[in-house]
Amino acid sequence: MINRVLLRIKIIQILYSFYKGEGKSIPVAEKELFHSIEKTYDLYFHLLQLSIEITRFAASRIESKRNKLRPTTEDLNPNTRFIDNLFIAQLTKTDQFNEYLKKNKLSWVHHPEIIKELFEEISSSVFYAQYMDQPSTDYASDKDIWRKIYKKVILQNEELDNSLEDQSIYWVDDIEIVISFIIKTIKRFEEENGEGQALLPMFKDEEDAEFARKLLRGVLTNSTKYREMIDVNTKNWELDRITFMDILIMEVALSELMDFPTIPINVTLNEYIEIAKNYSTEKSGTFINGVLDNIVTELKKENKLIKVKMFSENKK
């Protein structure tokens, strides 16, 4: 689940904290990196759990109306399509999902207000009304409604952002990418898999975990050398006038360029330029692109940048 795009961002975040703090060591930084990754995986399950909690809230509201002193005909004969959703019924019983929640003690029990708000927003949407008005539904449409809910409601809700930020400092910047993983998960659900349906693993394979470990250590070990390379190629700028985040992003990019011969140069450059656009200043993408391009040109002239072409598709 944790792809290399997210790993690069995590490493930059950990390095920012490392350089701004005092008395930290490489082993401590590495431990913090993998703890941060584990917390992102927690968020994946925690946000999946939202679908069940919202469904339970909807069911409790129906039951409350049924038990009114003077229930209407509609109260006694409600449309239960939303709470009878086949995808939710399967997720609720999925072994891997329930085991993880129990082991890591993930729960929304102390945040009922956000569950209520999300359901009210969902139930007032056009796509919800269309779903409820269908003559009949099937497993595919039951999955589709939840893909829409995550994309159009949960991802866009600012109160949920605030709630998650209060629950864990590690979740602040992860919501968008984790929801993209959840949408992918919903698409992969198959009715015939039942309780044995597999969820996404933390890492696709051990190679990605080793990528994160090696990249972090590469920056911390060679930081002085990389800063000198940046200084030489920013002749018209004093190094202390360049934003700290820009320097940090370039350091990580240089570590990847130098230490990972199977990752194409253009892949590395494009990834860090995009990170700069999202995590630094408005002009950082263009600035970093120019500096890194100059450094790559010099490294090639000096035969210090070796890349190996792979027969299979390279990982990003």
Going by the DSSP 8-state scheme, the letter that residue 56 receives in this structure is H
- Between CA 207 and CA 48 the distance in angstroms is 26
The number of angstroms, rounded, from the C-alpha of 216 to the middle of its chain's C-alpha atoms is 19
The whole-number pLDDT of residue 246 equals 94
Tally of CB atoms within 10 A around 9: 20
- Between CA 36 and CA 17 the distance in angstroms is 12
3-state helix, strand, coil in the chain (%, to 5): 70, 0, 30
The whole-number pLDDT of residue 313 equals 44
Contacts for 184 with CB less than 8 Å, ≥ 6 apart: 200
Q: Angle formed by the axes of helices 26-66 and 112-123, to 10°?
A: 60
Tally of CB atoms within 10 A around 298: 14
The whole-number pLDDT of residue 282 equals 87
- Between CA 67 and CA 254 the distance in angstroms is 65
Q: Do the Cβ atoms of 131 and 137 come closer than 8 Å?
A: yes
Q: Is 103 helix (H, G, I), strand (E, B) or coil?
A: helix
The number of angstroms, rounded, from the C-alpha of 278 to the middle of its chain's C-alpha atoms is 14
What are the residue ranges spanned by the domains of the chain? 4-196, 206-301
CATH of region 206-301, choose from 1.10.940.10, 3.30.300.30, 1.10.3470.10, 3.30.70.890: 1.10.940.10
Per-residue pLDDT of the chain (316 residues), as tens digits, is 899 999 999 999 999 999 988 767 999 999 999 999 999 999 999 999 999 999 999 999 999 999 988 999 988 999 999 999 999 999 999 999 999 999 999 999 999 999 999 999 999 999 999 999 999 889 999 999 999 999 999 999 999 999 999 999 999 889 999 999 999 999 999 999 999 999 999 998 889 999 999 999 999 999 999 999 999 998 777 666 688 999 999 999 999 999 999 999 999 999 999 999 999 988 899 999 999 999 999 999 999 998 887 544 445 5
Structure token pair of residue 97: 């999902």
The whole-number pLDDT of residue 316 equals 55
